[in-house]
Amino acid sequence: MAITLVLLAVMKRQRAAHPNAKYVVWSRIDQKSCLKAMQLAGLEVVSVDQKQSDSETEQGLVTDVDATREKA
């Protein structure tokens, strides 16, 4: 809950600095606090799913930069 409140404060400050902004492009992670804070701040979330790494040095999920750019 504390993380949600901190993130909410940050999102509200960003909202005040950019009053016309209403979308957040979010690299989807398994963290509901981020999503809750963005929604409570009155922003519309555009989520980008992560992709499986195809690198031999990295394993697991990574941010899909191309999909993020496309949605931005």
Model pLDDT for residues 9-30, shown as the tens digit of each residue: 888 888 889 888 888 888 877 6
Q: What phi and psi, each to the nearest 5 degrees, are found at residue 29?
A: -125, 165
What is the pLDDT at residue 1? 63
Give me the mean pLDDT over the 29-55 stretch: 84
Model pLDDT for residues 29-41, shown as the tens digit of each residue: 767 778 888 888 8
Mean pLDDT of the chain: 84
Q: Quote the pTM value.
A: 0.65
Separation between Cα atoms, residue 53 and residue 9, nearest integer Å:
33
- Collapsing DSSP to helix, strand or coil, 64 comes out as coil
Orientation of helix 32-40 relative to helix 2-17, angle to 10°:
40
Q: What phi and psi, each to the nearest 5 degrees, are found at residue 63?
A: -70, 130
What is the pLDDT at residue 68? 86
Q: How many CB atoms lie within 10 A of CB 38?
A: 22
